[in-house]
């Protein structure tokens, strides 16, 4: 069994726990509100803005014998540039003009980002691939569907969905590349560290969603009526 297949199998229950969070299940049923969507985008901004710095930190600490990872990280770094700005554009397209750039993230987002930096600095830098697996895998399975479920009832413009729709498409390609990359990782400790980190990130990312405001019944009814 390839390592990527093992990674999927060993984190399946954790993935299902994330997908079962009330706000995700509600969104899939069409229960959405503008405050909930903006809150999601704000938290997305606060972790996406760290994607490139985290990958740069990972690249700087590639362990001996794993130097072959450098080109793949360089490609990831180049492709992820500026995605945090897309989110700010989406937030403005939703009519929110607050200073998101200088706001504080929610505690769950702050903890997830801190864990990622700590994993790279004090643990095995390759464990960061656990975060990549969680964020990109979740994006592929949910992003495009969520965008459609949110946009129609709230009557938001296409300009409010550049992050969800671009990531839903881009991450399909990334996951294929990620699978090939994971199957080149053969060291049992590296594999165990990636699986452990993925399980932790599923929990932490789920906490981000659990911390978002649920759509109120009145807001949902208005969205459906719209």
Q: What is the pLDDT of residue 191?
A: 98
Q: What is the CATH number of domain 3-220?
A: 1.20.910.10
How many Å apart are CA 119 and CA 193, to the nearest integer? Answer: 10
What's residue 168's pLDDT?
59
Q: Are 211 and 106 in contact (CB under 8 A)?
A: yes
Residue with tokens 């949902």: 220
Task: Give domain limits for the chain.
Answer: 3-220
Q: What is the predicted pLDDT for the residue at 176?
A: 81
Per-residue pLDDT, 41: 97
Whether pTM > 0.85 for this model: the answer is yes
Task: Render each residue's pLDDT in the chain as its tens digit; 226 residues.
Answer: 899 999 999 999 999 999 999 999 999 899 999 999 999 999 999 999 999 999 999 999 999 999 999 999 999 999 889 999 999 999 999 999 999 999 999 999 999 999 999 999 999 999 999 999 999 887 766 888 889 999 999 999 999 999 988 875 655 667 788 999 999 999 999 999 999 999 999 999 999 999 999 997 544 444 444 4
3-state secondary structure the chain: CCHHHHHHHHCHHHHHHHHCCHHHHHHHCCCCCHHHHHHHHHHHHHHHCCHHHHHHHHHHCCCCCCHHHHHHHHHHHHHHCCHHHHHHHHHHHCCCCCCCCCCCCCHHHHHHHHHHHHHHHHCCHHHHHHHHHHHHHHHHHHHHHHHHHHHHHHCCCHHHCHHHHHHHHHHHHHHHHHHHHHCCCCCHHHHHHHHHHHHHHHHHHHHHHHCCCCCCHHHHHHHHHC
């Amino acid at each position: 069994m390839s390592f990527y297949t093992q990674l999927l199998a060993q984190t399946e229950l954790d993935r299902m726990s994330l997908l079962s969070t009330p706000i995700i299940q509600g969104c899939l049923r069409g229960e959405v509100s503008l405050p909930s969507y903006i809150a999601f985008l704000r938290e997305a901004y606060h972790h996406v803005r760290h994607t490139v710095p985290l990958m740069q930190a990972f690249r700087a600490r590639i362990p001996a014998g794993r130097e072959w990872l450098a080109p793949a990280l360089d490609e990831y770094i180049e492709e992820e540039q500026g995605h945090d700005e897309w989110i700010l554009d989406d937030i403005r397209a939703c009519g929110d003009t607050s200073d998101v750039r200088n706001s504080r993230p929610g505690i769950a987002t702050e903890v997830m980002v801190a864990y990622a930096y700590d994993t790279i600095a004090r643990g095995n830098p390759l464990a960061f691939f656990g975060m990549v697996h969680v964020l990109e895998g979740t994006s592929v399975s949910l992003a495009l569907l969520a965008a459609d479920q949110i946009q129609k009832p709230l009557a938001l413009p296409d300009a409010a969905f550049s992050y969800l729709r671009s990531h839903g498409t881009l991450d399909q390609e990334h996951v294929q590349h990620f699978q090939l990359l994971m199957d080149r990782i053969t060291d049992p400790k590296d594999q165990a560290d990636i699986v452990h980190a993925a399980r932790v990130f599923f929990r932490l990312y789920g906490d981000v969603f659990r911390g978002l405001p649920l759509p109120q019944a009145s807001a949902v009814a208005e969205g459906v009526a719209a």
